[in-house]
Chain A
Amino acid sequence: MSPFLYAFPCVGVFFESLLFWRLWKMVSRYPYLFAFVLYSLVRDVILFPISWYRPNWFAEVYWRTEMISLFSRFFVNWEFFRGTFPQRSALHEIAWKALLAVELGVLPGILLLSWGQASSLHHLYRYLSPVFEQYLSLAQALLLLAPAAVARYYRVAMGRNMRGLGLGFGIYLSVCSINFAGLQVLHGFVPYGRLLSPAAFIGMNAIWMWAFWDYRPSTEWTAGHENQVA
């Protein structure tokens, strides 16, 4: 493996470690995001010795843990929702209904779109269909955009924490979805395309690190907290 390909995950782990350190102070405020970051960090750290000592295990472990990672991304969706519209917020109910409307209206459309679609990337089929990852990323991106749209509509100031969370996660999910769709069509792009999703993941961690360097919650969160204290 070339030094560049080693440097790539090293940078990723570096950002994850810094993010973990910053989030440690806010664990009670953002527990779901913390759980996701902790899982990603542990997974990446474990994959290092496996790639060195047991390279034949690597693909198996990588894709199995990737499957868990795909679903644990819903934690981030939930963290964004509860961080922007906490339960005590006046807009919580309406945002929740908007989210349900998206789930019931848009997600069946995504399911319909993906139904019966076969991946042309046969070498990945052994572990996980790229089509599955593509549409799951798209669905999660839509679930992120629904509360973001409600927040924008009501001019809720999201604060640096939630803005960074949404920005990094949204870019990552969209890039993943575009990348996997692109790989189906542009086969010559595969060697570069394989690096795009991990690069977006590292970018997401870098944005999150910037966003969570300090505790800056949304106004809804702060207002609700002040009311509770009062």
Chain B
Amino acid sequence: MIEIIVACLIAFLCLVLVLVFFLTREVQTESGAAPVHPPVAGLSGACLQHSDVLLGRDDYLQMRNRPELKPVRERFWRDRRRIVLIWVGELERDVQLLWEFRRFLVRNGLHVALQEEVGILFTASWALLYLKLTRIIVFSFGPYVLRSVIRNVKLPVEQLSSRGAGLMARVPAEMKTQVERGWAEQVLILDLR
């Protein structure tokens, strides 16, 4: 009986996946959009300099010692939280962009091993999960809790970036211009920026 129920559930899941895979709109990989030249994998969040200043809490602690500055301190906390949330959101977009860039390279004929691709799939999924959790933590408890977690939020993005750069280095020189042009069109279609 249990086997039948499990098999039934798997079959039902298959049906849902079939509908999702074949009925949702396909992203067109070909387009007549005019080519522009943004950076091949330009990252905004990961390039943030002096993130220590953003996450530092010395000012906040000083204000906490002075009760008359309570309204200022609260506004400071909210503003800082909003900025950190925007930064983590940018990092999420960076991960998606890097992941998409890698898939774009593979789709355009760069040879990779399945093992490598599975590794990227897990790294990118983990990075996105980590960033989502960080966003929830920051939104719920503010930018000054679990500071080491928030400080390290850039690491998975950098890790993914270096793997993408490694792959880009394998692109033959004569293909690079073509890849850059194709990627510029792809970014426009996907609207990731």
Give the interface of A toward B (CB within 8 A): 90-91, 93-94, 97-98, 101, 113-114, 117, 134-135, 137-138, 141-142, 144-145, 148-149, 151-158, 163, 166-167, 170-171, 173-175, 177-178, 181-182, 184-185, 219
Report chain A residues within 8 Å CB of B6. Answer: 113
**10 A-B pairs with the lowest CB-CB distances in the bound complex, closest first:** A170-B18, A174-B15, A177-B11, A167-B22, A90-B109, A181-B8, A97-B114, A141-B14, A148-B21, A178-B11
Are A90 and B7 in contact, CB atoms less than 8 angstroms apart?
no
Interface contact A185-B4, CB-CB below 8 Å: yes
Q: How far is the CB of A124 from chain B (nearest CB, A)?
A: 15
Q: Which of B25-33, B37-45, B55-63, B126-134 lines the interface with chain A?
A: B25-33
Residues of B contacting A166 with CB < 8 Å? 18, 21-22
Determine how close the nearest CB of chain B comes to the CB of A90; give it in whole angstroms: 4
Instruction: Tell whether, in the assembled complex, residue B14 and residue A155 are in contact, meaning their CB atoms are under 8 Å apart.
Output: no
Contacting residues, chain A, for B106 (C-beta < 8 A) = 90-91, 94, 154
On whether the beta carbons of B7 and A177 are closer than 8 Å, the reply is yes
**Interface flag for B112 (CB, 8 Å):** yes
Whole-angstrom distance from the CB of B160 to the nearest CB of chain A? 16
Does the CB pair A149–B12 fall under 8 Å?
no
**Can you identify 20 A-B contacts, CB atoms within 8 angstroms?**
A90-B106, A90-B107, A90-B108, A97-B114, A113-B7, A134-B7, A135-B7, A141-B14, A141-B18, A145-B17, A151-B21, A157-B29, A166-B21, A167-B23, A170-B14, A171-B19, A174-B14, A175-B15, A178-B15, A185-B4
Taking a contact as CB atoms under 8 Å apart, the answer to whether B11 and A141 are in contact is yes
Chain B residues packing against A (C-beta within 8 Å):
1, 3-8, 10-12, 14-15, 17-19, 21-23, 26-30, 103, 106-112, 114, 117, 121
* B112 and A149 form a contact (CB under 8 A): no
Cβ distance A46 to chain B, nearest Cβ, rounded Å: 30
Q: Which residue of B lies closest to A185 (CB)?
A: B4
Q: In the complex, what's the smallest C-beta–C-beta distance from B26 to chain A, in angstroms? A: 5
Partner of A163, one of B5, B22, B30: B22
Q: Bound state CA distance, A151 and B108, in angstroms?
A: 13
> Are A170 and B107 interface neighbours, CB within 8 A?
no
Separation of A171 and B26 alpha carbons in the complex (Å): 19
- For A115, the closest partner residue in chain B by CB is B3
CA distance A1 to B26 in the complex (A): 45
Is A173 in contact with B14, judged by CB distance below 8 angstroms? yes
Determine if B103 and A153 form an interchain contact, defined as CB atoms under 8 angstroms apart.
yes
Does A185 lie within 8 Å of B1, measured CB to CB? yes
In the assembled complex, the CB of B117 is this many whole angstroms from the nearest CB of chain A, namely 6
Q: How far is the CB of A162 from chain B (nearest CB, A)?
A: 9
- What A residues does B29 contact at CB under 8 A? 155-157, 219
Q: Residue B14 contacts which of A134, A145, A157 (CB distance < 8 angstroms)?
A: A145
Residue of B nearest to A135 (CB): B7
A67 to B6, alpha carbons, bound, how many Å?
Answer: 25
CB-CB under 8 A from B109, the residues of chain A are 90
